[in-house]
């Protein structure tokens, strides 16, 4: 009976969401641009998250009939015809005296959202199960955020919501062929760093390795998304997310199917495009590809001054993305092995080993003693050292000599009083110095531990924990990002104000607290 109800639920969701894949710009041509460029809302995400009060065709008919009349008030028109996104229903007041663990435990409820709550014509994509959102302006489920949030949910023994979120991601893969950046119609042209197979590792700790068989079809579908068109490429050619390297290897890049301004950041994209030497289409594609990476934005993708108009994300083979796809290939191979399909197991194992070899070939820099991104157009590494270089530790791709070099550089260049800085460039972009982010702290710490660098891992963890606690004790909040150079200053940069909440900060902090400062039994 449960299976029948689940199937009926998915059928209903499929029928509803089919009608909702049109984006706000597609539903409201002309009105969308007028609102986003008007400055009515300081944040462009406000309007694309608003819900129309009636049929979009009727709204557009009235808009076209009224917009040129004397005294037309655009802000009032929007207010009359759209319901603006509201804050969480639970009003949460922090009690610092109860401690950060209690704070995080309460936040899981604040950040929780019920499934199938998308209204007709809303940009929100309906989901079959409840989920956790990051917080602040991020009102929907996000892909790579969710993995690091799950690390904390795991510590909180909230295995039901972990299962629910994994089921939601499997549903998205089955419906759309990939996991979108976030569960909004305007995110359906791109994904985010592929952590689905890593989520299954979390689930496997509770349910066993059988989860790799249960979700094997979805693992394969996600792999097909990232590898689409790869087989027919010649050296030096690229198609969507795949690139054929000079030596014939296939590696991957970030990519977005659209070459238009991002709807959620429309004004900023349009203004930045006026300064670029690229065609508008190339520029928008590169901006969107950087959004797929999650690092929006960083000198990793542009010149060291952080000028957005120089962005060239699609030229770059990111080391972290390819490490994640290496893990995906190993997970697929493991699923086949459990099914006793030896030929398929060997195929995906060989693909994983070939990718590992290619990562070592193209990303490792002896000169820098660091894993770096590779510019496939210019055929050399980018020369920019970023914290993405720790991913080969997390996935045990580095050898012991490389791991030693990484540990030395982490301590000498990246480690600051409040944690690990993302890059050494002070560009004003939010994924550059002096900012730091919870996911990268976790990947570095966990990676170092896998190579026996436990003392350094502990020092980094302690710096990060103390930074988080200091801000919490002063503000009662856990932030999206932190200044790790001057821990008395709030982190800055980016396209929007500093967000609090915050899913992945909560998850990583609780994981590290339980590892290094376990609660008294």
Cite the active site residues. Answer: 296, 480
The candidate with the shortest Cα–Cα distance to 122, out of 24, 12, 15, 9, is 24
Which residues partner with 142 through β-bridges?
182
CB 146, CB 438: distance < 8 Å: no
- Helix (H), strand (E), coil (C) string for 119-155: CCCCCECCCCCCEECCECCECCCEHHHHHHHHHHHHH
Q: What angle do CA 363, 145, 314 make, to 5 degrees?
A: 40
Please give the distance of CA 476 from its chain centroid, rounded to a whole number: 25
Q: Rounded CA gap, 321 and 392, in Å?
A: 11
Q: What angle do CA 128, 12, 23 make, to 5 degrees?
A: 80
Q: What angle do CA 22, 26, 29 make, to 5 degrees?
A: 155
Q: Rounded CA gap, 498 and 495, in Å?
A: 9
21 in the Ramachandran plot: left (φ > 0), alpha (ψ -120 to 50) or beta?
Answer: alpha
Q: Rounded CA gap, 58 and 277, in Å?
A: 40
Q: Rounded CA gap, 61 and 47, in Å?
A: 19
Does the N-terminal peptide bond of residue 86 adopt cis geometry, omega within 30 degrees of 0?
no
What's the distance, Cα to Cα, between the start and end of the chain in Å?
A: 42
Does the N-terminal peptide bond of residue 434 adopt cis geometry, omega within 30 degrees of 0?
yes
User: In degrees to the nearest 10, what's the CA dihedral of 63, 68, 71, 77?
Assistant: 10
CB 286, CB 313: distance < 8 Å: yes
Instruction: Compute the chain's Rg from CA coordinates.
Output: 23
Give the tokens for residue 460. 């980094």
Which residue is associated with the tokens 């490429």? 233
Would you tell me how many other CB atoms lie within 10 Å of the CB of residue 310?
A: 18
User: In degrees to the nearest 10, what's the CA dihedral of 412, 413, 415, 418?
Assistant: 140
- DSSP conformation class of 374: E
């Amino acid at each position: 009976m449960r299976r029948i109800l689940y199937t009926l639920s998915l059928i209903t969701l499929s029928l509803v969401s089919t009608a909702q894949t049109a984006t706000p710009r597609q539903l409201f041509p002309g009105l969308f641009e007028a609102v986003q460029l008007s400055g009515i809302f300081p944040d462009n995400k406000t309007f694309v998250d608003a819900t129309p009060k009636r049929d979009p065709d009727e709204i557009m008919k009235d808009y076209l009939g009224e917009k040129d009349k004397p005294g037309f008030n655009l802000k009032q028109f929007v207010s009359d015809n759209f319901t603006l996104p509201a804050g969480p229903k639970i009003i949460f007041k922090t009690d610092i005296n109860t401690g950060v663990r209690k704070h995080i435990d309460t936040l899981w409820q604040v950040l929780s959202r019920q499934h199938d709550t998308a209204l007709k014509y809303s940009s929100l994509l309906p989901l079959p199960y409840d989920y956790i959102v990051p917080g602040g302006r991020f009102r929907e489920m996000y892909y790579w955020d969710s993995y690091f949030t799950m690390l904390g949910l795991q510590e909180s023994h909230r295995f039901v919501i972990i299962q629910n979120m994994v089921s939601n991601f499997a549903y998205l893969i089955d419906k759309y062929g990939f996991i979108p950046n976030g569960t909004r119609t305007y995110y359906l042209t791109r994904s985010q760093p592929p952590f689905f197979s890593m989520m299954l590792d979390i689930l496997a700790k509770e349910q066993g390795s059988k989860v790799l068989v249960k979700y094997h079809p979805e693992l394969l579908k996600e792999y097909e998304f990232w590898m689409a068109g790869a087989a027919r490429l010649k050296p030096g050619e690229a198609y969507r997310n795949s690139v054929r390297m000079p030596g014939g290897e296939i590696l991957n890049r970030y990519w977005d199917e659209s070459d238009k301004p991002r709807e959620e950041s429309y004004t900023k994209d349009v203004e930045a495009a006026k300064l670029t030497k690229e065609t508008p289409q190339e520029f928008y594609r590169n901006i969107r590809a950087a959004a797929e990476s999650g690092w929006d934005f960083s000198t990793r993708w542009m010149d060291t001054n952080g000028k957005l108009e120089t962005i060239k994300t699609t030229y770059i083979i990111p080391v972290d993305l390819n490490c994640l796809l290496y893990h995906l290939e190993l997970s697929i191979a493991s699923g086949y092995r459990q099914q006793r399909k030896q030929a398929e197991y060997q195929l995906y194992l060989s693909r994983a080993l070939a990718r590992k070899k290619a990562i070592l070939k193209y990303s490792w820099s002896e000169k820098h003693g660091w894993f770096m991104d590779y510019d496939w157009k210019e055929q050399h590494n980018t020369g920019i050292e970023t914290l993405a270089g720790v991913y080969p530790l997390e996935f045990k791709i580095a050898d012991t000599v490389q791991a030693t070099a990484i540990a030395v550089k982490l301590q000498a260049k990246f480690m600051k009083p409040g944690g690990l800085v993302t890059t050494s460039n002070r560009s004003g972009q939010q994924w550059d110095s002096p900012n730091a982010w919870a996911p990268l702290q976790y990947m570095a710490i966990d990676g170092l531990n896998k190579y026996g660098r436990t003392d350094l891992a502990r020092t980094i963890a302690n710096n990060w924990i103390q930074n988080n606690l200091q801000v919490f004790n002063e503000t009662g909040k856990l932030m999206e990002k932190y200044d790790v150079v001057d821990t008395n200053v709030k982190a800055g940069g980016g396209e929007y104000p500093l967000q609090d909440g915050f899913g992945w900060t909560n998850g990583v902090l609780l994981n590290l607290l339980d590892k290094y400062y376990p609660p008294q039994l």
